[in-house]
Structure 1
Amino acid sequence: MKTRVIDIDTYKLILTTIGSGFIYKVNGTDKKFRPNQRVKLALMLEGNLGIRIGDILNLTLKSFRNNGNGVILDIVEAKTEKNRAFTVPMEIYNVIKIYALENGLSDTDNLFPLTERAVQKQLKIVCQYLGLDNVSTHSFRKFYANEIFNNNHQNIELVRTLLQHSTIAITQKYLGVSSKEIEDAISNHVHII
C-alpha cells in the first residue's frame, strides 16, 4: 500500500470520527468503536508537529520544556537518531497539558501508552468505516508536510528542514512533486524582455 496524503477535510473527518465513535459491522455482527481520545490526540499531534508516530508515542510531559519565550519539544528521532528541537504552538501544548491532567499522567509517564500497531489498527477500522483507502499514520505526517508546503509559497527547503530529510529529492518524493513538474514549472517561467 502506498500511503497517501490526506487533505484538511479528511484529517478533520478521521479525527472527529475517532473522537466520537461509531457502530460498524464485522461478518454481519454490530461492533462498537468506542471514542478514543488517545489515538485522536496522537494523530492530531503527528498532523500538527510532523514527527513520526513512533516518536509521538514516546512523548512525555518532560519532552517539552519552557525556554521563557515558549515551549520547546526536544527529542531524538527514533528512525534517524537525529536531535530535533522546535517550538510547539501554545495551543497544542495546552491540549497536551489538559490531556495529561485529565488522565493523571506524571511528567515522566508516556502520554500515549500505545503501540504503533494499535494506532494503525484503530485507524484502519475508522478508514474502512469511512471508505478511505491507503491511509495510515504516516498520512498525517504527509498532511503536515503538504500543509506547510502549500501555506508557505511551496518552499520545499522549509519542508525538508522541518522533516529533517537529508535531500530535497526525498522531500519532493514525499510531497509527490515529480521531476517533470519541476521541469515544467521552470520551463513555464520565462519572462524575456
Structure 2
Amino acid sequence: MNKRTRAIDTDTYKLIIATMKTGFEYDGVVYKPNERIVTVLVLEYNLGLRVGDILNLTMESFVKDGSRYRLDIHEQKTGKYRNFTVPVDIYSYIRDYAYENGIHLRARMFPITERAVLKHLK
C-alpha cells in the first residue's frame, strides 16, 4: 500500500494545534497538552521544513541579518543547503519557547525523535 502525503488546510491545522494545546480524551485515554509538539508543528507548518530538520534546530540556527532573521540549514533528507528569511513573529515565538524552557543557544530545541512527534499526531 502506497501512502501519499497530503497538505492540510488551515482549518484542520488550527484544530490540530488547539487540540494539542488543550489535551483531549480518546477511547477512555486522557492525553495531556503538549507544548513541545505544538511548537514543532507550528514551525513545520510556517517554515515548510520536515520534522527531522526541525528537531535538529538550535537557537544558533537563526541568524540575525539586519532587522530580519534567517535560517541556514542543511536538509537532512536531501542534503541540500537552505537559507531563507524567517518571519519575525515566528522567530519571536521560537525565542519565547526557548526562554521559557531554559534552552541554551547550542542545545537542540527539541530533544525528541521523529517517531515521538508522529505518535502524538496519531
Q: Taking structure 2 as the reference length, what is the TM-score of the superposition?
A: 0.95
Q: Does 1:53 align with 2:58?
A: no
Give the C-alpha shift of residue 109 in structure 1: 1.1
State the aligned residue count: 120
User: What CA deviation, in whole Å up to 9, does each residue of 1:20-64 have, x standing for no partner?
Assistant: 101121xxxx21111011111101101000011100010000000
| Matching residue within 101, 104, 110 for 2:102 | 104
Match of 2:63 among 62, 65, 73: 65
2:25 maps to what in 1?
Answer: 23
1:160 aligns with none
CA distance in 2, matches of 1:110, 1:80: 21
Cα distance in 2 between the residues matched to 1:76 and 1:15: 27
Segments of structure 2 that go 5 or more residues without pairing to the other structure are: none
Matched with 1:6 is 8
* Greater helix proportion: 1
Using the alignment, how far apart are the partners of 1:90 and 1:64 within structure 2? 11
Instruction: Provide the C-alpha distance between the structure 2 equivalents of 1:5 and 1:98, rounded to a whole number of angstroms.
Output: 28
The amino acid of 2:26's aligned partner reads Y
1:78-109 deviation digits (Å, cap 9, x = unpaired): 11111111110000000000000000000011
Q: Secondary structure at the match of 2:66?
A: coil
Q: Which has the higher strand share?
A: 2
- Higher gyration radius (CA): 1
**SS of residue paired to 1:32:** strand
Residue 2 of structure 1, CA deviation: 2.2
Q: Take 1:84 and 1:2, find their aligned partners in 2: how far apart are those partners?
A: 25
CA RMSD for the aligned pairs? 0.8
Letter in 1 for 2:6: R
> Does 1:116 pair with 2:114?
yes
How big is each residue's C-alpha offset from its partner over 1:136-173, in whole Å with a ceiling of 9 and x where there is no partner?
Answer: xxxxxxxxxxxxxxxxxxxxxxxxxxxxxxxxxxxxxx
Equivalences for residues 1-193 of structure 1 within 5 A: 1-25=3-27, 30-124=28-122
TM-score between the two structures when normalised by the length of structure 1: 0.61
